[in-house]
Amino acid sequence: MPPWISAPGISAIKDSKSTFEIIIDRGSALIRPTFDDGLAGWIHFAIPSPASNTRNLNVLAIDFSGSAATVDKVAIYLANDPQFKKENLQKRESFKLDMPDSISYEGTGISVSTYLQFEGIYSQISFHSVGIQN
């Protein structure tokens, strides 16, 4: 079975345009909106580099649980270049996505971005981990 590279939920990074609140709780990051007019936005994760003999990134896994909230989009970047994007997901729980074409890793940084949509100020998402199978 191919290995996974992953980042824990506590490594969640708030987008500069986001007003979300991030609370670290037992290895997970609890994300909540702070204003009624800020119910959607991006959260980013920096993923460690794979082993030097690894060249392909094949499967994306997002491990989370939510309450009145969804992950609507995901994107994978190598350095600042978008390599994979999936929209209209409306996922309410953990999921995996096969990438149609393997992403060839060339030694640049890896980041995974998730676009969250909250139903209201009372909504929340708890990220446990984000990983890529290579």
In the prediction, which pLDDT does 105 show?
Answer: 82
When pLDDT is cut at 50, 70 and 90, the band that residue 132 belongs to is very high
What are the boundaries of each domain within the chain? 4-133
Residue 3 pLDDT > 90: no
Closest residue by Cα to residue 125 from 56, 48, 45, 52 = 45
Residue 23 CB: number of other CB atoms within 10 A? 11
Burial of 93 (0-12, 13-18, 19+ CB in 10 A): exposed
Per DSSP, the three-state class of 94 is: strand
- CATH for the stretch 4-133: 2.60.120.260
Q: Read off the pLDDT of residues 21-79 as tens digits, 9 standing for 90 and up.
A: 999 988 899 999 999 999 999 999 999 888 777 678 899 999 999 999 999 999 999 98
Is the pTM here over 0.85, yes or no?
yes
Residue 1 pLDDT > 70: no
**What is the rounded average pLDDT for all residues in the chain?**
92
- Region 71-91: mean pLDDT is 95
- Region 115-126: mean pLDDT is 97
Q: Is the pLDDT higher at 36 or at 101?
A: 36
